[in-house]
Chain A
Amino acid sequence: MNGINAHLPALQVVVPMLTAAFVVLLQPRGLAWAAATAASLMSFLIAVQLTLAVAGGATLTYAMGSWPAPYGIALEIDSFSALLLLVITGASTLALIGGKASLESQMQSDRQPYYFSAWLLALAGLCGIVVAGDAFNIFVFMEISSLASYILIAGGPDKRALPAVFKYLIMGTIGATFYLIGVGLIYMMTGTLNLHDMEVLIANVSDQRPILAAAGFITVGLALKAAVFPLHVWLPNAYTYAPHMATAFLAACATKVSLYVLLRFDFFVFQGNLDGHAFQFTAYLMPLAILGIVIGSAVALFEQNVKRLFAFSSVAQIGYIMLGASFVSILGLTAGIVHIFNHALAKGGIFLALGAFALSAKSLRIDDIAGVAKRMPWTFAAFVIAGLSLIGIPGTAGFISKWYLINAALEHGSLGIALIVVILLSSLMAVVYVWRVVEAAAFGEPATAAPIAKIQPAAFIALWTVAILNIVFGLAPDLPVSLATDASNILLGHLR
């Protein structure tokens, strides 16, 4: 690569971050939105370019300011980061396009430039976490993205978002600080922050106890940020009361990025170096993953607010990703990583559709969306496709990750059979909770004269793009599966 292509890893962060600074100044109507969407689309194109560059398991290293690692700051992109970059930038772009009308209805237009600025900062932070090659930069980007997403959640008209975001701020900061303590302990023992260097130098540390403590702090801190059960309590309210557009963006990628850091640390840095780490990882996280799947789905069965229902479903889906990872096998990790991609497609689509429903319903309670399918048939159809993908019906993207997950479980004998029962049970619960929404929307009679609104063309295009992608990646899953297989080979490569 030459010319500007050589700098793409840095531009991935720089483009949204610099645009964020001047979007604030664009007061005329719609201009801030256009600039934010352009920057987000540009990030997406950069992500595509980077994905092509690392296809086949290559790793791209970029030395910031030409200072070589480990002394300088290194950016590193491999298949795992590329997959996450596609999810983050794609979700941001589609949510910006699809959520414009919904945001217009929820926020005065003079406040919108600030909102888009925060949006781009969140995007820059999330991309930064994924491209960063050293532990401290991950922390800084994590805080940039978190602070910006607090604003995204609290910026809406719903006052209940404020206590929700306060809880998120407290728990998110505790998570990040735990991570910082862990990184500090490792730095104390190895004197490095670069992940590659760390992985090599930890092997030379004679006293493992500080490293073990660091592994604990980092795992718990990131699990808190990633809303792994039972550390998910901040998530349901934050997603429910956020503006619909922000929910679509954050539900698709925010927690996944923390899972990415968690997997990278636990597999890449610690796995080969700590005695019995694989067993501890499984024994600690597998029960939590199973509880998350079962309880998240069960609560969703009884929830009355549709957004909250799908927020609890997110807790269950994070459980699937953790369950895949806790097998500590190539197939299991592949399943988890593919599910990061597929769940983003399904949940992003659902929340985009809910944002459109909200325009023609009094609220997003199940009773209030009754009959919405008659007013918005196309939106409803896209919602159903995304819902089928969430359940994991063959032919949709969600089926692929469930299929890999079941295959990975089969490697584990009788324990695996029990796990398959859990997966099937939870899928059945998903059928029920998706059906509750579908039933109300399709067959319910609207109680009062609800506002009639047509879906905007832009929202229609974004929503159907997601719905079609759900089917495309269900029939031809090569892209996410090959990236995820390369990623799990990289993560587990140190064991062999």
Chain B
Amino acid sequence: MAVFELFNYWVFAILLMIGFYAVIAKPNLIKKLIGLSLFQSAVFLLYISMGRVEGGTAPIFSDNAETALFSNPLPQVLILTAIVVGISTLALGLGIVVRIREEYGSIEENEIAEIDRR
């Protein structure tokens, strides 16, 4: 089944779109950030999937290193960095939302725009 061979990539695409939808459509700033996190996680899945080799093991040095089949470790390392970036972005985003709540008393996008217009 061709659909299941690309299962990971389907999940990537669907997760990406769910996250993107939440970012665009939700007026609540926290929900936007949740969407953004989903959006980024989908990309992590893309990278991890592409480095996977059928039947491959973790690339750790062992006695039978000559013959063993390894998954590609590079995408995993890249994604480790990307996860750190994602967490920092989320932390900063949440920090800004806290400040917005302090200043505006609301975390709904339309209410904030209303206060700014006054």
**B82 vs chain A, min Cβ distance (A):** 7
Q: Which residue of A136, A147, A177 contacts B39 across the interface (Cβ within 8 Å)?
A: A177
User: B75 near A166 (CB under 8 angstroms)?
Assistant: no
Given A181-B46, A184-B47, also A166-B29 (CB < 8 A): yes
User: B47 near A140 (CB under 8 angstroms)?
Assistant: no
User: B43 near A181 (CB under 8 angstroms)?
Assistant: yes
User: A165 near B96 (CB under 8 angstroms)?
Assistant: yes
User: B75 near A173 (CB under 8 angstroms)?
Assistant: no
Contacts of B78 in A (CB 8 A): 136
0/1 interface trace, chain A 170-190, chain B, CB 8 Å (1 if under): 100110010011001001100
User: B93 near A166 (CB under 8 angstroms)?
Assistant: yes
Contacts of A151 in B (CB 8 A): 92
**A169 vs chain B, min Cβ distance (A):** 5
Chain B 75-118 residues near chain A, CB threshold 8 A:
75, 78, 81-82, 85, 88-89, 92-93, 96-97, 99-100, 103-104, 109, 112-113, 116
User: B96 near A169 (CB under 8 angstroms)?
Assistant: yes
A150 contacts B by Cβ under 8 Å: yes
B18 contacts A by Cβ under 8 Å: no
A367 contacts B by Cβ under 8 Å: no
Expressed in whole angstroms, the Cα–Cα distance for A458 and B79 within the complex equals 45
User: A184 near B96 (CB under 8 angstroms)?
Assistant: no
User: B100 near A162 (CB under 8 angstroms)?
Assistant: yes
A163 contacts B by Cβ under 8 Å: yes
Expressed in whole angstroms, the Cα–Cα distance for A155 and B113 within the complex equals 20
User: Nearest chain-A residue to B113 (Cβ)?
Assistant: A163
Expressed in whole angstroms, the Cα–Cα distance for A143 and B20 within the complex equals 19
Given A143-B89, A188-B50, also A174-B39 (CB < 8 A): yes
User: B92 near A147 (CB under 8 angstroms)?
Assistant: yes
Contacts of A143 in B (CB 8 A): 85, 88-89
Q: What is the total number of residues of chain A having a CB less than 8 Å from a CB of chain B?
A: 24
Contacts of B43 in A (CB 8 A): 177, 180-181, 184
A209 contacts B by Cβ under 8 Å: no
Expressed in whole angstroms, the Cα–Cα distance for A177 and B100 within the complex equals 25
**B35 vs chain A, min Cβ distance (A):** 9
User: A150 near B100 (CB under 8 angstroms)?
Assistant: no
Contacts of A139 in B (CB 8 A): 82, 85
Given A166-B93, A170-B23, A184-B47, also A140-B81 (CB < 8 A): yes
Contacts of A162 in B (CB 8 A): 96, 99-100, 103-104
Q: What is the total number of residues of chain B having a CB less than 8 Å from a CB of chain A?
A: 30
User: B23 near A174 (CB under 8 angstroms)?
Assistant: yes
0/1 interface trace, chain A 469-485, chain B, CB 8 Å (1 if under): 00000000000000000
Contacts of A150 in B (CB 8 A): 92, 96
User: B100 near A163 (CB under 8 angstroms)?
Assistant: yes
A362 contacts B by Cβ under 8 Å: no
Expressed in whole angstroms, the Cα–Cα distance for A181 and B78 within the complex equals 12
**B117 vs chain A, min Cβ distance (A):** 11
A454 contacts B by Cβ under 8 Å: no
Given A159-B103, A177-B43, also A166-B116 (CB < 8 A): no
Contacts of A174 in B (CB 8 A): 20, 23, 36, 39
Contacts of B82 in A (CB 8 A): 139, 180
User: B96 near A154 (CB under 8 angstroms)?
Assistant: yes
Contacts of A374 in B (CB 8 A): none
Contacts of B36 in A (CB 8 A): 170, 173-174
Expressed in whole angstroms, the Cα–Cα distance for A139 and B89 within the complex equals 13
**A13 vs chain B, min Cβ distance (A):** 16
A29 contacts B by Cβ under 8 Å: no
Q: Which residue of B29, B50, B85, B93 contacts A184 across the interface (Cβ within 8 Å)?
A: B50
User: B96 near A177 (CB under 8 angstroms)?
Assistant: no
Contacts of A165 in B (CB 8 A): 96
A160 contacts B by Cβ under 8 Å: yes
0/1 interface trace, chain B 18-36, chain A, CB 8 Å (1 if under): 0010010000010010001
Considering residues B29, B36, B78, B109, which has the most beta carbons from chain A within 10 angstroms of its beta carbon?
B78
Expressed in whole angstroms, the Cα–Cα distance for A165 and B98 within the complex equals 13
Contacts of B40 in A (CB 8 A): 173, 177
User: A170 near B32 (CB under 8 angstroms)?
Assistant: yes
Question: What are the nearest 7 A-B pairs in CB distance?
Answer: A159-B103, A143-B85, A162-B100, A188-B50, A166-B96, A163-B112, A184-B46
Which A residues lie at the B interface, using CB under 8 A?
A: 136, 139-140, 143, 147, 150-151, 154, 159-160, 162-163, 165-166, 169-170, 173-174, 177, 180-181, 184, 187-188
Which B residues lie at the A interface, using CB under 8 A?
A: 20, 23, 29, 32, 36, 39-40, 43, 46-47, 50, 75, 78, 81-82, 85, 88-89, 92-93, 96-97, 99-100, 103-104, 109, 112-113, 116
Known A-B contacts: A169-B96, A173-B39. Give 16 more (CB < 8 A). Answer: A136-B78, A143-B85, A143-B89, A160-B116, A162-B99, A163-B109, A163-B112, A163-B113, A163-B116, A166-B97, A169-B89, A174-B23, A177-B39, A180-B43, A184-B47, A184-B50
A-B contact pairs, 27 of them (CB 8 A): A136-B81, A143-B88, A143-B89, A147-B88, A147-B89, A150-B92, A151-B92, A154-B96, A162-B96, A162-B103, A163-B104, A163-B116, A165-B96, A169-B89, A169-B93, A170-B93, A173-B36, A173-B40, A174-B20, A174-B23, A180-B43, A180-B82, A181-B46, A184-B46, A184-B75, A187-B50, A188-B50
